[in-house]
Every structure is written in structure tokens, then in C-alpha cells.
A and B are shown apart, each in its own frame.
Chain A
Amino acid sequence: MVGYYSELAVRSLRRNVVLTTLMVVAVGVGIGVCMTALTTLRAMSGNPIPDKSAQLFVPHINAWDPARGKPGTSDSQFSYRDAMALMKAHRGVRQAAMYQVILNVKTLSGRLEQAHGRATFADFFPMFGVPFRSGAPWGAKQDDDRDNVVVLSSKLADRLFPHIEPVGRIVTLTGRDYRVVGVIRPWILTPRFYDLSDADQFAFGETEDFFLPFPTAITRQIIPRNYTSCMEEDRQWVEWEGRLTSGCYWVQFWVQLPTAAQVRDFNTFLQGYAIEQQRLGFYHYPPRVRMLDVMDWLAFNHVSDGSVRVNMMIATGLLVVCLVNAVGLMLAKFASKAAELGVRRALGASRVDLLVQCFFETVIVGLLSAALGLALTSAGLWGVRSLRGVAQDSAFGHLYRLDAQMALIVLALAVAATVLTGVYPALRAVRMQPAWQLKIQ
């Protein structure tokens, strides 16, 4: 049966080659251009962590003075008290408070140099998917015990321990010894979204030289390098203790919430927490809470805007127009088959049989347009790569490549789209009266 219908379909398509070509081209070109555009836009979208960006949130409490307008990047950090309360509440699957530090490291030649680092909690590493070269991140126990452990970047590790394995060795940072528990692979984020604060916008896309546990840094009274933002009322504090108890914002906080329900729950919890804190007098102005995922956070800090979304809508609009076009062409195609369908009906075929026949035709057109779509997507991505001077196997090249997964998507999309456009025309063609068609020969 499949063979029979396929043969019918092929013959029918061959009968009017022009129309068939137009249909294939309409859907194929639409899909090819649309997929090229969507891939390119996604690659350029500047989503630093696409596979997790919808799961990672900044639970933003805006207790900023409304008369001073919107809080800026540094004003959107947390006070020590709030950050610790959120860590203790443990409402997310993973969470980490953090802040920037700068410590002096003794290089092999005995010189002291500055290294940029981050004080954070154990969850930081699995949460952001930090790739490790050797060793492993520290665990919650090391956080609690305030252990002197450190994770190094490849670069720093290579400079301090060329040719030997750093894990297990001792590193001296500003006069204290830390044991190396892990070395991460080169980890470049564009941008380093988890800390957009001003102090030293990490110039060349690289992340920190070292990481150490947050409680350890607090015990050592290591001063934050990122900007501390205070409202007038909080400005007067002295000594390290004052920093920990004041309402100034200097701690950064991220939480991982994989499901929408968890996000809602966290939001509710956060609202309750904020109201309670205000009741106790810790905020000077009524707090408003908002959960910002990675892309929201970037937009909030004016690092990215919605232009990618707009351009994606345009690319999708193209696909829609091509499909509408294809419906018209399908109508033309099936209208011309009216006589043949009439004969089959007269010979006893049911409406369903005719629909199946039309379906086979649309599937074959779909497969052909999928082939065209794939060829065009390939060519289009090659064009974009040349335009941008990106080699296919380079670090960014894989973003602009037609891989197996995308090819499958294009195939499925083309066939599904074509079948969809054929539904209405097929129904219309099948509804006609056989007697009419047979009469008008």
C-alpha cells in the first residue's frame, strides 16, 4: 500500500514539475533562511551559559531609595546579613553567595604578584558547570570548617607549578597557606555574568585566578574588591564587624532553580523574607523582589538588549510567510488533481483513502524541501562564518555549524511544516462531489 501511494504521489508531482518545484522551493528556502538566521542569532546572542541560563537566578531585593531611580549593578548586590539568611534558608537546589577578592601570590621567582579571585561556596562549581582539569571543588564541609583550601585556574596553576600536579600542594596567598584541591580548565564567559560589578570588569573575558571558601575569606577579613554600595543611612560603619552588620550591599548571590514551580516557591519565600526584614527595620524603603534569570540579569544591567529576540521574530515571520505561500501552492496543486480524485472516489475509494494519498504527496514534497533546506542552511552558515571570519573548528565555530542534531530538527521541521500546509487544501480537495469532476472533462 505504501508503495502504491508513493507511486501515485511521485507521478502526480512529476506531472506538474513547475508547481512541485515552486512548493519545494517555497518551504525549503523559508526553512533554510530561517534556520540560518536563528542559528546565527543564537550564537551572537551573547547568552554566556545557554544550557543553564534559564535555571540560574539572582533573587533581587530592591530596597533602594525610589527617589534615586533604578538601582544600578552595584546597588543590586546583597548585604552580608541577607546573603547569609538566604544561604541558611537553602531554598534553592543550589546556591552560592560570593564576592571578588584580590590577594598577593608568590611566584616561582619569589616576587609578589596580584591575583584576582572569588570567595564563594561549594555549590558555585556544580551550579555554573565549572570544568575541572584535575582535582575537585571543595565540599560543604570545607565551607563549614572554614578550611584553607583553594581552587586554581589553569593559568595560575601553570605559572606556580609548571610541570607538576598542583592538587595537594600549598599556595601562599597574602601570607596564608592554602591547600590546592582542584584546578579548573580555561573557563571563558562572555560576559562574566555572575559578577557585572564595576571594580574591574574582567577585561578579556577570563574568569578568576583562584577560588576560596566564602566563610574562610570572612574569617580572614579579606576585603571585597567589588564595589560596596551604601545608602546614606548605612554609610557610617567601622571595622570589619561593621561591614558584616551594616546594610551596605557587597555580596553577590546566585541560586539554581530548575523548575518553574521552584522559582515560584522561591519568589514567595523571598517576598515573605523581605517583608519580615522590613518589619524588623532592616530596610529603609519598602522592598520589591524580583527573580532575574541570566538573560534578565544581563538586560537589567544593560549588558544586552532584546535585539536578538526581535531579529528572531523576523526570521520566524519569514518562515510563516513561506508556509502561507505553500498553502496557496498546495491549493493549486490539489485543485488540479480534482479529476483524478473524482475517478478514485467513483471507483469506491473512501474520503480517508484520498486523504492518505494527499498526505503521501505532502510528505514527499516535505522530504524534498528538507533536503533543500539543509543545503541552504549549510550554505548560509558557511556564508555567515566567512562574513565573521570564524573557522569551523575554532572555539566559536561550533556555534555556527550544522551538526547532526540541527540537521534532524531541520528535517523534522520541513516535513511537519509541509504536511501542515497540506491539511486544509487536502480537506478541500477531498470534499468535492465526484459526479461534478467526472462530468467536466
Chain B
Amino acid sequence: MDILPILCSLRYNKTGALLIGLQIALTLAIVANSVFIVQAYRREIQRPSGLDEANIFTMSNEWALEEGDVVAHTKEDVAALRALPGVIDAEATGGFPLCGCGGLYYLELKNPQADKFHPTIIKTYLVDDHALSAYGLNLVAGRWFTPTEVGLARNVNPDVPVAAVITRQLANEMFPAGNALGQLVSVVREKPSRIVGILEAATSTDFDSYRQGDAAFVPLQWVGNYVNYVVRTRPGDQTRVMKVAQDKLYALSRQRVLKNAQTFAQIRRHAALDKRTTSVMLSVVCAVLLTVTVFGIVGVTQLWVTQRRRFIGMRRALGARRRDILEYFLIENLLIAGVGCALGIALGLAGNTWLRTEVYALGPMSPAYICIAALLVLGLSQAAVLWPALRAASVPPAIATRGL
């Protein structure tokens, strides 16, 4: 089939071709990048928190004590929770992975080996010696804290943590030689803590954090009027314990407010909400884009068919078959879509580069995204042009003899 006549006639229909080409290019760039973002988000919100999520629930507690000391009452609460049948262990703390709250310390890395990597905000969780079993964390090296190591995170003059446990990801970044155990790190007050253990994984307090997967735990008992209770139960006991736990705590003291009793599944859902909303929106945008582009192609091609009715009739009268007319329009569309795709690939790659400067957490986009998007758009545009092309093919040759 001759390409030249198609190109020649396109010269007289530049505007329409330009419009379709532009739509295809933009659609391709946007769809490829959107799918890339949605996939990245999906991976992000499925990242394991390091905790035994199936068996953990949490409650938030606010003290309104008229007398007595917050630390003692919190200790009493935790002891009562730990004594409940079905409970493996419990913990009173400020923040915990995926809580979406604060109540943390921040690790500042003063190790000389870590100089070229100087982040300031490594989320550091305040826990006691029970947290390993209360959270269901997985230690891959070293040990957890002993009861004697646990200090008090007073608001004024807090104890300096003597030890620290960090995640494997953080250990590898700080000490690429693999000798993290025993090294000194500094938590806030510029006095060193020794790394005594390495965890397989622990996430930050939410999915938006810089440095996901870098976290540290220090043995300091949380002190405060707001405290979160994290309770790990035996499989199957969670619902029952949740009901019993609140009554038990209120029986101990009514000078408090217990709120937000949530299973960890609910916590994870809440933490993922923003990313899920954006993913849904981007998916809708992609669907609308593809639909609009398809309809646009249908519209413009239909216009061309109407404009060229006489010429199509003339070609048919001169011996062209229906198939030839059909092929003509399909190839014409293929040419335009091809150029549009080429432009779209360039735009998509450029857009992706810009995107990654704005969102530091996104890695490079694999070429598969652009390629599959290009094939999809090409396929859709060919399908879109099919209907007007079939209508063009059915233009009777007798049209040519009218209107002369």
C-alpha cells in the first residue's frame, strides 16, 4: 500500500492530524506515569510494618488524674493488660509504626563513618524490654533490651538511652561493612547509645515519611498524659480481649479517657488512605483520558470521512475495493498515532524525570510502563478508527456521479 498519497492528503488536513497526535502524545505520557505512580503507591502501602499485624490492637489513653503519678498508673495499666488471658504481651508507648502520630524521639547519626550521610530525622520509638514480644518484632542479629537498661523518657532531663536497636536497612546504610552491632549512635542529647540488636524490618509512623524502613528503638519508658497501649493477643483471641480490656482498665481507674480501640488492620487502612485516594483518582483520570481520546479520534475521523465522501466515491468508482478504503483510513490513523506515540514517549520520559525530582521516594520507571502504554494507545486508536473507516468503506461509488 502506498504511503505517499496518505501523507499528501494529510498535508491538507494538518489541523485534525495535529489534534489527534497531540491527544495521543499527552494521553500516553500521562497514562504511563500515572500507572507508574499507582504501582509505586501500591507497593508502598503493602510494605510490612515489622509487627505481628494480625494479632495486635491498640487503644489511646488520656489521663486526667487528680492525684497520683502518670508513670505509676500507666505501669499499673500495662501490668493489668499483660495479665489478661489471651494476651501475649502489651506495651505503653508514644508512637508506634504506622500510628500516624508523633510521640517519638529522633536519632541523629554522629558516627564518623556515617558522615557523608547526614539525615536528621530517623524515627526512634520509645519502648521497654517487653516490646519485642508485644510488637512481634523479628530480631536478625544481637539481642533486645534487658529490664535494667530501660530508662525513663521524662520531659525534663530524660534518661539517656544506653542501647539502641535499629532496622537492617538502616544498619546497612550506616555501616556498609556489616559491623553495626556494638557501634555507637547518638539520640538527641549527644550522648552515645550502643547498638545491641538489628531488626529485620520496621516502618515509620506513616507511609509518607522520608526514609521509610529506617527506624530505631531505644529503651526509654514513655512518660506522658497521652499514651498508646499496644496489645498483642494469641491468634483468635483478639476480639474477646478487645472487649474485656477496656472494662478492665476503667475498673482500675476512671480518671481517664480511652479511645480509638483499633485492630492493626484498621490502622494500616487509615495510614494508607491518602495514597489510596490518590491511586483511585489517578485511575479515574486514566480511564477518562483513554475514553476521551478514543471518542476524539472517532469524531475527527468521522469528520474527514464526511469531508471526503465524494473523493472516496470517486476512488470506488475507479475500482478501489472496500478493503482498500478501510486500509487507507487504518494506515492513516496508524501514521498519526505512530508520530503521536513517539512524541508521547519523549514527553512521558521527560515527565517522569521531572516527577522524580519532585517525589524523592520514587525510583526510576521501567521502560515496560511506557512500552505497554504505547501499545495500548495504538491499539485503542486503531479500534477507534474502525467504525468511521467501515462507514467510509460503505460509501457507494455512485456518490461520485452526483453533484457534478
| Contact in complex: A72, B108 (CB < 8 Å) | yes
One digit per residue, 1 when the CB lies within 8 angstroms of any chain A CB and 0 when it does not, for chain B 282-302 equals 101100110011011001101
Q: Beyond A70-B118, A324-B26, is A22–B361 a contact (Cβ under 8 Å)? A: no
A160 at the interface (CB under 8 A from B): no
Enumerate chain A residues within 8 angstroms of B30, measured Cβ to Cβ.
Answer: 314, 317-318, 321
One digit per residue, 1 when the CB lies within 8 angstroms of any chain B CB and 0 when it does not, for chain A 324-365 equals 110111011001100000000000000000000000000000
Q: Among the listed stretches A78-86, A257-265, A298-306, A412-420, which one makes contact with chain B, having 4 or more residues with CB under 8 Å of it?
A: A298-306
| Contact in complex: B292, A68 (CB < 8 Å) | no
B67 at the interface (CB under 8 A from A): yes
Enumerate chain A residues within 8 angstroms of B379, measured Cβ to Cβ.
Answer: none
| Contact in complex: A203, B101 (CB < 8 Å) | yes
Docked pose: A30 CA to B306 CA in angstroms: 27
> Can you list the 3 inter-chain pairs with the closest CB atoms, starting with the nearest?
A72-B120, A306-B358, A69-B118
| Contact in complex: B16, A75 (CB < 8 Å) | no
| Contact in complex: B295, A325 (CB < 8 Å) | yes
Closest to A315 in B: B285
A67 at the interface (CB under 8 A from B): yes
| Contact in complex: B302, A111 (CB < 8 Å) | no
Docked pose: A387 CA to B280 CA in angstroms: 9
| Contact in complex: B306, A384 (CB < 8 Å) | no
| Contact in complex: B121, A73 (CB < 8 Å) | yes
Docked pose: A194 CA to B190 CA in angstroms: 24
| Contact in complex: B292, A322 (CB < 8 Å) | yes
From the candidates B115, B188, B303, B307, name the one contacting A227 in the complex (CB within 8 A).
Answer: B188
One digit per residue, 1 when the CB lies within 8 angstroms of any chain B CB and 0 when it does not, for chain A 174-213 equals 0000000000000000000000001111111000000000
Q: Beyond A317-B30, A325-B293, A332-B299, is A302–B118 a contact (Cβ under 8 Å)? A: no
Enumerate chain A residues within 8 angstroms of B151, measured Cβ to Cβ.
Answer: none
At the interface, is chain B mostly helix, strand, loop or mixed? helix
Enumerate chain A residues within 8 angstroms of B104, measured Cβ to Cβ.
Answer: 201
Closest to A26 in B: B292
One digit per residue, 1 when the CB lies within 8 angstroms of any chain A CB and 0 when it does not, for chain B 314-352 equals 000000000000000000000000000000000000000
| Contact in complex: A69, B37 (CB < 8 Å) | no
| Contact in complex: A331, B16 (CB < 8 Å) | yes
| Contact in complex: A74, B120 (CB < 8 Å) | yes
B401 at the interface (CB under 8 A from A): no
A17 at the interface (CB under 8 A from B): no
B27 at the interface (CB under 8 A from A): yes
Closest to A109 in B: B66
Closest to B307 in A: A335
B55: shortest Cβ distance to chain A, in Å?
25
Known: A302-B210, A325-B293. 16 other contacts (CB 8 A): A26-B292, A29-B292, A37-B281, A72-B120, A111-B65, A227-B188, A311-B37, A311-B282, A318-B288, A322-B292, A324-B19, A325-B295, A331-B300, A331-B303, A332-B303, A387-B277
A307 at the interface (CB under 8 A from B): yes
A127 at the interface (CB under 8 A from B): no
A268 at the interface (CB under 8 A from B): no
Docked pose: A202 CA to B302 CA in angstroms: 62
A440 at the interface (CB under 8 A from B): yes
